[in-house]
Amino acid sequence: MNYIEGGGCHVTGKSCILGVGGRSANNKDSGCPLHGQFDVWILQNDDLLVSDIGFPSEEPKQCLALGITKALADQIARRKSIQVGTRVLTTQRTCLVCTKPFWMIEHATYSVMAQEGRSKLCPDCVEKRVDIPIQNMLESLRHWCG
């Protein structure tokens, strides 16, 4: 997805690691070591967003990279933020139970509780028995959000 005419990589600006085969490489196949599940966006207010959940909720100005590794996404965002003098935001979340930061892509399976609480609980806590106040709060959020 980041291959450009002339055999270059849109992300690195260098020759494609896969050579001519890069033209047909699909990020889902992970043929390139730069492929991953993170995107880098420039938002309307010029902030940068490193995201693991796809297209941002507000219309972005520009996409800097699609489907790349976390390390590469961080590097691109950091370099661009220094260049334009803006901040880097992420879609990383904090677990309501253990307060550990987590990414949505860390949820490998989607149990019933994970479907309700995976945006609020880390993968470890979503599989544990959740105490009643947290469970009630998640129920309230589900009904409130529809």
Each residue of 5-37: pLDDT tens digit? 666 777 777 888 887 777 777 766 777 888 888
Residue 139 pLDDT > 70? no
CA distance 122 to 102: 6
Q: Are strands 35-42 and 48-51 parallel, antiparallel or unpaired?
A: antiparallel
Please state the domain extents for the chain.
3-90, 93-145
What's the pLDDT score for residue 134? Answer: 60
CA distance 28 to 40: 17
CA distance 136 to 73: 36
- pTM (predicted TM-score): 0.75
Spatial contact of 9 and 23, defined as CB atoms under 8 Å apart: no
